[in-house]
A and B are shown apart, each in its own frame.
Chain A
């Protein structure tokens, strides 16, 4: 029924799976579904068949706000030369046993 001739396409949903308790939900892909309940069921059927998850989030793809690829340089390049933002930049002082 998706994108068939003269038929309405089903909305797209983004799927996030939490693989274990304590971890965060991670984006795994998308499904088509007519409503939220079907989106959860479809996500379960498509993305958790091999024990990948303990929790599912679905979000209408239309609700995702994305950064503009054209802004890539201004958004991300300035971070490239700030090595001091990485914890590995700093030497651990003597006497600090747990950090």
Chain B
């Protein structure tokens, strides 16, 4: 299949999906830099993006060690079909409400993933180390996105309308990240935000596990990878 398959174990695949999810979500948030609604929110999104980047790097370094590559090989020299991030992470930012709701869904996913990895003694200690740090970071991210979902959903007519539009657009991408725990985390916040919760069994997009992505990932990678590809081996 892909060139990662030779050395990949089942856990490596799962860790790669997690690493790529964090990396791509981080890049999307970084696109808000200098464009967020307020200076304070600009810094907040930047902080979250940097946390996610740190999490991605920790995992990519472990995977790279095990497969004889470097983290830069994995981040900058793979093609779109080799990425395993959940599709929702690569969706364009849209308006601020769309970004917040996307990040809320991602945060709620990671809120289950990180504690499970941190608390499992059979998990690779390098991955567990990343997870232990990420549990605390994610708790803040989830708090940030949750409070914004509440404010915007239960805010003005316009913010409510925009959140409804975002929910319609994003709900079909929950398939790879949703679990019973995820629904239990997400649905009460959506309800409190006065948003109509779509059904759990509504149609959802296929996963990226076999390398299928939306058209948006290629453009994202073109920007994210251009510097490293123009100047291979450059450090900064």
Contact = CB atoms under 8 A, between A and B. Distances in A.
Interface residues of A, number: 15
Given A34-B151, A41-B144, A41-B147, A46 B43 contact: yes
Contact of B143 (A33, A41, A42): A41
B37 A45 contact: no
B44 A37 contact: no
Interface in B131-169: 140, 143-144, 147, 151
Contacts of B208: none
A49 interface: yes
B interface, over-half SS: helix
A10 B44 contact: no
B38 interface: yes
A38 interface: yes
> Which of B39, B40, B44, B143 neighbours the largest number of chain A CB atoms within 10 Å of its CB?
B40
A37 B44 CA distance: 14
Contacts of B143: 41
Nearest to A44: B140
B47 interface: yes
Contacts of B37: 1
Nearest to A2: B38
Contact of A33 (B40, B47, B140): B40
A17 interface: no
Given A37-B147, A41-B143, A41-B144, A32 B38 contact: yes
7 tightest A-B contacts by CB?
Answer: A42-B40, A45-B44, A45-B43, A1-B37, A46-B43, A31-B40, A45-B47
Given A2-B38, A31-B40, A41-B44, 7 more contacts: A1-B38, A32-B39, A41-B143, A41-B147, A45-B40, A45-B43, A49-B47
